[in-house]
Structure formats: structure tokens, C-alpha cells
Amino acid sequence: MRDHIAGPESPPLPLPSREHDTVAQAMAEAVRKVVREEVAPLRRQLEELRDEKRPPETAVTVKEAARRMSVSSRTIQRMLRSGELQSVPVGRARRVLVASLIQER
């Protein structure tokens, strides 16, 4: 059994002992336990807070409107041109008002 490793131009390095491996495994398990018990619940609480503070959705993309209405994006664009749906400009893009999607259903 080798007790060291060596590269072509480097001095030999000692291999970790079995004790080292046992300690490293114990430390890794301790970190996993802390994450499971401490961090995961905090992450869930943070997600709940984000959901509570998120404003209600008022406008969606053409693609999302099409998905919600189970039609194609082209159909949504036609409905926007004909006035069946309402939209608002957002920069150079347009967003479909959710209220107009609800009325259309």
C-alpha cells in the first residue's frame, strides 16, 4: 500500500490517513445536517415572504396569454389588433392585460 503520491516534477505528498477520511466524512455529514435542519426551513420562509409581497399580476407576455387561453401566440396578436384583448406598452414590447383575458373566457 502506497503512503504517498508524487507527480513527475513534484515532491511526494502524503496520502490522507484513514483517520483523516473519517474526520472528513463526519464533517461533511455535520454540514449536511445543518443545511437540512437550519437552512432549508429558512429558505422555505423566504419563499413564502416573497410570495406574500409579490404584487398581483396585471399584465403578461403574448406567449403567456396564449398559454393561459390555450391558443397560439398569433391568435392572441390577432385578438389584440381587433380590440378583443387589451394591452399596455412595456418598453418596446406589449403586455396583455390579465383582466382582458378573464373577460374573454
Amino acid 69: pLDDT: 92
Written as nine digits, the cell of 49 is: 415572504
**pLDDT tier, 54 (very low <50, low <70, confident <90, very high otherwise):** low
Give which of 82, 78, 87 is closest to 58, Cα–Cα: 87
Looking at the chain, the whole-number percentage of residues with pLDDT higher than 90 is 33
**pLDDT tier, 35 (very low <50, low <70, confident <90, very high otherwise):** confident
**pLDDT value at 84 more than 60:** yes
Amino acid 7: pLDDT: 64
Q: Which long-range contacts (CB under 8 A, 24 or more apart) does 5-11 make?
A: none
**pLDDT value at 38 more than 50:** yes
